[in-house]
Structure 1
Amino acid sequence: MTLDQALGRYWTEVSQHRASANDDFARMARLNELIGKSRLLSEITDNQVALFVAKRRGQKARYKDTLVAPGTVNRDTELLRRVFRRAKRVWKVEMGEEIDWSLHLLEEPDERVRELTAEEQEKLFKHLREDMRPMVEFAIMAGMRLANVIRLTWKQIDLQAGVITMKMKSSKPGGRIHTLPITPAMRVLLANQVGHHPIYVFTYVCEKSRQSRQKGERYPYSKDGWRKKWKDALNAADIEDFRFHDTRHTAATRTLRASGNLKVVQKMLGHTDIHTTARYAHAMHDDILAAMTAAQSRNSPEQKPQASKRKRQKA
């Protein structure tokens, strides 16, 4: 069985039914390109996988002037590992030498948590296109992933029940269902989008007529078509090191700071493992530090003589 045949069968049986189907499709194209679609699975060894990793990590990341992140390379390698495992266990394909996959996984840094400050948010909204502001504001309030925000449909929203239903990435076929409550502020924002489009919630106003699109009409956002306007707004607002995904971090950190309940944030973000949510614990630590500092300052022995001195002077 060739690599291309294995990837095609894996797509038919597994990947196309996953929530991450589009990502898997792109990864399969890269595997075919960098390893060779006609190469037999039995010919792919540790050496071939190592060469793939070296080539992949030397490529440029999309929309950035940097190399792809280690985690991105690892996702490609892990897909290849899943295909190999299925070929061996399910399809009973004759394989070559056993591959030690642990040798090819790159070390990934802990995911940083970048929170948008109130001052940065105010500046960003001043420079964002008016039709993009609701989408970004909603993302900051709801903490939803980019794909869930830009492709949010009215069918997913039940204003009467006050709930948004969406699919999350999961190993389960078709993804995992996640529900999110609608707050009063989110309800107002959503209500203001009614009538713009019959299917999608967040849309943009076309600035120039082209092909089937007419100037002044509203259309749903494509996967990447909004990115230039987003980048332009960040540059104009002089905001550095902030990605759209950081709106999710911002929502999580603010919710944790307000509630002090990590379990609540886990449910809001749809994490299955609370250890994933624990990266936001710094928000609680900051509040605890501030409270402890204030308490110790008020009850410090150094403060008491000063208070007594003021009383004597007043007397």
Structure 2
Amino acid sequence: MPVYKPASSPYYYSEFQLQGHRVHKSTKAKTKKEAELIERQWKAQIEEDVKRARITGNAPITLDVAAGHFWSDKGQYHVNSDTTWTDIQRLISHLGKDKRLDQLTDADVAALVTRRRSETRKGMKVTKDGDPVPTLSNATVNRSCTILLKAIFNHAMTLGNYLPKPPQWKKHMLKEPKERVRELDTHEAVALDRSVRDDYALWFEFARMTGLRRQETLIRWSDVNCFAKRITTKGKQGKDVHIPITPVVAAILKRCEGHHPIYVFTYICRRNLLGSSQVKGLRYPITPEGAKTQWRRLRQRAGVKNFRFHDIRHDVGTKLLRQTGNLKIVQRALNHSDIKTTTKYAHVHDHEVAEALTKLQNATTMPTTEQKASA
């Protein structure tokens, strides 16, 4: 049937059936001539898709379908799978579930990044104190937009979908500040250890001794293999993370026995909250949000400034490298897939440079006249 304009809409609609495809939707055009042109373009696209499918055996794949495959095969196994799911839903909402990956352009990605850059954490405009909430960091925008969309796109290609020309992902990556490597000073370490809540102490000691990411520290007893002397849990992007059970780690695990049948690290409920099923005095597993909250409070009590939980990992990596001088050992200890990531720990402090220069200068200094005479 020809394009038509419903009484309830300012736009012309197209309705037709071609090559087994039924189309019935708005052209978003306000003139009949423009609507007919759009309809012809749609029909030409269907003819091209059918022809391509006969050659390649694959029909065009939409973002909604591609994201579903990615979630089933990879996304649901990410350590922060809830975040991955939220980010995927945001992509679909912004680009549209019917957006075809073979028609994804650089302009689409650029618009997506621009929109994301203007957003704030949890959509808040001001803090409780009335201060403006800053927009998202470049790192957050990269990971929730460009990197995720690229991963969905590449996964669709591995499944055999015909995607002739991907966007230029690199040019859409926002510049991120170089990650700093921060160590704990001795007095800071003592202050943290003294300030940690008793029921969180074993968890915090485990984090300090292993250098695991916060999410990776929340292990289950099923992750612990005492016979192999190894703990295996899930890390970034669902990859296995292996931690050797050293005597110190074994002692920590021993003290956690009997606290919970499934999770290793727990806390004691301190008060009955209205609407909560938790009972004061009983133990419950430490959750990701609970770990985040306790770390923030611990840092405040200890008075340690400019130190993130992830910096514990930097602290372990840096000191391990200084002790062993072996990058491969640090790479294995921190479960880095690429040793380039580990090289950031190969930094030196000013006092270390001074000590090295002093040793060199002492070894190469020319003898004085008095030294020559006494010789």
What is the one-letter code of the residue matched to 1:10? F
Q: Which has the higher contact order (CA 8 A, sep 6+)?
A: 1
* Cα distance in 2 for residues equivalent to 1:161 and 1:84: 39
Cα drift, residue 217 of structure 1: 0.8
- Does residue 164 (structure 1) correspond to residue 231 (structure 2)? The answer is yes
8 Å CA contact retained: 2:211, 2:316? yes
What is the one-letter code of the residue matched to 2:302? A
* Cα distance in 2 for residues equivalent to 1:161 and 1:43: 50
**Aligned residue for 1:78?**
147
**Aligned residue for 1:49?**
109
**Aligned residue for 1:100?**
168
8 Å CA contact retained: 1:196, 1:203? yes
Cα drift, residue 264 of structure 1: 0.8
- Does residue 258 (structure 1) correspond to residue 316 (structure 2)? The answer is no
8 Å CA contact retained: 1:60, 1:68? yes
Larger radius of gyration: 2
* Cα distance in 1 for residues equivalent to 2:328 and 2:90: 38
User: What is the percent sequence identity of the aligned residues?
Assistant: 36
Cα separation, partners in 2 of 1:296 and 1:85, compared to 1, 3 Å:
closer
Cα separation, partners in 2 of 1:57 and 1:91, compared to 1, 3 Å:
same
Tell me the TM-score normalized by structure 1.
0.81
Tell me the TM-score normalized by structure 2.
0.69
* Cα distance in 2 for residues equivalent to 1:107 and 1:86: 25
Cα separation, partners in 2 of 1:5 and 1:228, compared to 1, 3 Å:
same
Cα separation, partners in 2 of 1:302 and 1:137, compared to 1, 3 Å:
farther
8 Å CA contact retained: 2:63, 2:96? yes
**Aligned residue for 2:269?**
206
8 Å CA contact retained: 2:214, 2:291? no
* Cα distance in 1 for residues equivalent to 2:225 and 2:288: 25
Identify unmatched segments of 5+ residues in structure 1: none
8 Å CA contact retained: 1:61, 1:69? no
Q: 1:289 aligns with which of 317, 332, 353?
A: 353
* Cα distance in 2 for residues equivalent to 1:123 and 1:13: 44
Residue aligned with 1:122, SS: helix
* Cα distance in 1 for residues equivalent to 2:198 and 2:79: 31
Cα drift, residue 161 of structure 1: 4.1
* Cα distance in 2 for residues equivalent to 1:98 and 1:166: 34
Residue aligned with 1:282, SS: coil
Matches within 5 A, 1:133-152: 133-150=201-218, 152=219
- Does residue 273 (structure 1) correspond to residue 344 (structure 2)? The answer is no
Identify unmatched segments of 5+ residues in structure 2: 1-60, 128-132
Q: 1:128 aligns with which of 191, 196, 201?
A: 196
Deviations 1:234-290 (A, max 9, x none): 12322222111111111111111111211110110111221110000015x768635
Cα separation, partners in 2 of 1:141 and 1:291, compared to 1, 3 Å:
same
Deviates more, 1:60-69 or 1:31-40: 60-69
